[in-house]
Structure formats: structure tokens, C-alpha cells
Amino acid sequence: MVESKLVELVVAGSNPVGHPIFSPGQTFGQELSNLGLSAGTGPDFAQTRNPLAMSNVCCKTAEAMRILALDHGTKRIGVAISDETKTIAQPLEYILAEPFGPFLGRLKKILVEKEINLILIGQPRNMDGSYGPAAQKVDTFVGVLKTAIAVPIKLWDERLTSTMANRILIQGGVRRDQRKEKVDKMAAAILLQSYLDGI
């Protein structure tokens, strides 16, 4: 079950590359549907991942590098990464949003260590597709980030990711006082998986 896979990694604090959060061969939307959850009105999840991609081992080309996802918040920024085949998302950690200097330093270290070639950032949208104050804050954040790093940045619809992250943690039995330590990186992993399922 997707909840147990996600909670296993987050509670244990271990994110081994290649440990599947979502079952190969099923899309993010299908996994949620199996659990009675909804992917909402966000990105299209129709394309199924190719399980054979897991065996495609190659050198460190651009295709073999990883994607990093950020779930932006005013206090914490959740971080998740993909595996090298860009098939599976894994929650990694959260970084304090302020002060910005230490956040940027930690982000740059992750970009190098994990060999990231694309940053995916959640873009808040209302359920009717419109943009509000939260989206403006993300736009400002992205604008500053682009002046500080060379890795390409892409915005991605993050509707319902935090809601789904909380539901998964609750269903996994994670206590309320521990959820705030885990929900941001969980939301980043859900965001990233939705993107990976569509490529």
C-alpha cells in the first residue's frame, strides 16, 4: 500500500535510492485510486511508468541524473528527489525557509551531492485553477532562486499535495506532533511523483 511505503521511509528517516514509494507499472493516480484517495484536478496521471526503465543502468548523462522537488512553505521547504531513471520519488528532508542564506547553502550542497539536473517547485493554485497570494510568494521565491543557481527550474501544479501528505501520515499512524516534521518532504515526494508519472 502506498501509505505504508511512504510512511516507512519518512518515519525511518532513510531514503535509499531505488527504494520504491509507488509500485512500478502503476501511475500515481492509480495508486491513489486503489486507496480511495483522489489526485484532484492537478496534472494528468494517465501515462503508466515503464517498469523496464528500472533496469536501464547508464553512465552519468543528463538522462541519468535526478530531479529534485521543493514544496515551498513560509517556515519549512520540503525536499524530495527522484531515482536516476526518473521513475520513483523519495522524500529527502525539509530545510528551514529562513534565513535564506543557510537554506541556499544546503540546497546547493544537495544539488551537487545528488547530481540534480532539474528542480521542480510546487505552484499553489486554487481549485478553479486561479492563482492567489501563495502563488505570488512562490513566484518571488523562484525569481530569487534563479539568480543564485544554474540548475533549470520548473513549476508544477501542487494542488492537494499537502492534504494528501497529511492523510497518508494519519493513515500510517504518525502522531500529530511528528507530522509537521514529515509532511513537507512527503508533500514534495507526492508532487514529484505526479510529475514523474507524466514523463
109-133 residue pLDDT tens: 999 999 999 999 999 877 777 778 8
Report CA torsion sign: 186, 191, 196, 198. positive
* Whether pLDDT at 34 is above 90: no
Percent of the chain's residues with pLDDT above 70: 66
Query: In total, how many domains does the chain have?
Result: 1
Distance (Å, whole) CA 20 – CA 144 = 33
pLDDT digit string, tens, across residues 85-115 = 999 999 999 999 999 999 999 999 999 999 9
3-class DSSP string for the chain: CHHHHHHHHHHHCCCCCCCCCCCCCCCHHHHHHHCCCCCCCCCCCCCCCCHHHHHCCCCCCHHHCEEEEEECCCCEEEEEEECCCCCCEEEEEEEECCCHHHHHHHHHHHHHHCCEEEEEEEECCCCCCCCCHHHHHHHHHHHHHHHHCCCCEEEEECCCHHHHHHHHHHHCCCCHHHHHHHHHHHHHHHHHHHHHCCC
Q: Which residue range(s) make up the domain with 70? A: 2-196
Q: What is the pLDDT of residues 142-191, one digit of tens each?
A: 999 999 999 999 999 887 677 778 687 777 777 777 777 788 898 899 89
Confirm if 190 and 160 have CB atoms less than 8 A apart: no
* Euclidean distance between CA atoms 181 and 114, whole angstroms: 22
Is pTM, for the whole model, over 0.85?
Answer: no
Residue 191 is part of a domain; what is its CATH number? Answer: 3.30.420.140
* Nine-digit cell string for 36: 480511495
Decide if 130 contacts 124 (C-beta within 8 A).
no
**Nearest in space to 123 (alpha carbons), one of 95, 149, 161, 169:** 161
Q: What percent of the chain has pLDDT over 90?
A: 43
